[in-house]
């Protein structure tokens, strides 16, 4: 299934085989919602035809929409700063990450993996 959009308190997914749209209450998705952006493919988890939740890909790529500037020339690799991503989730990223960069996030831990694309 592919995440399409939010409609009120529901999230709309599309079955990639039948192109059928499925509306699921946001509260049934739980914490996974913070990593959902349009186009992300997920697996639905069911037990006896009852929807239990979704399984995200291990990594998602999200754009940084807010963070404080890093100090130019700061090369300490283990120093992190908070950043807000396009879905609203806040994660810790290295100092060199800037607004507009795309970063890879591990959905199992919520941790930064790498910078995928620099805004430059």
Domains of the chain: 2-55 (2.40.50.140), 59-117 (2.40.50.140)
Helix, strand, coil in percent for the chain, rounding step 5: 10, 50, 40
How does pLDDT run along the chain (120 residues), one tens digit per residue? Answer: 999 999 999 999 999 999 999 899 999 888 899 999 999 999 988 778 777 888 999 999 999 999 998 766 555 567 899 999 999 999 999 998 999 999 999 999 999 999 998 775
Nearest to 54 by CA among 1, 10, 110: 1
pTM for the complete prediction? Answer: 0.84
Is 56 strand, coil or helix? coil
């Amino acid at each position: 299934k592919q995440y399409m959009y939010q409609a009120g308190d529901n999230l709309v997914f599309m079955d990639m085989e039948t192109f059928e749209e499925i509306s699921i209450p946001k509260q049934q998705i739980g914490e996974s919602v913070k990593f959902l952006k349009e186009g992300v493919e997920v697996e639905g988890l069911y037990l006896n035809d009852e929807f239990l939740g979704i399984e995200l890909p291990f990594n998602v790529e999200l754009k940084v929409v807010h963070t404080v500037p890093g100090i130019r020339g700061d090369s300490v690799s283990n120093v992190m700063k908070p950043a807000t991503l396009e879905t609203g989730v806040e994660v810790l990223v290295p100092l060199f990450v800037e607004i507009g960069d795309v970063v890879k996030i591990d959905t199992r831990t919520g941790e930064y993996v790498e910078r995928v694309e620099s805004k430059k």
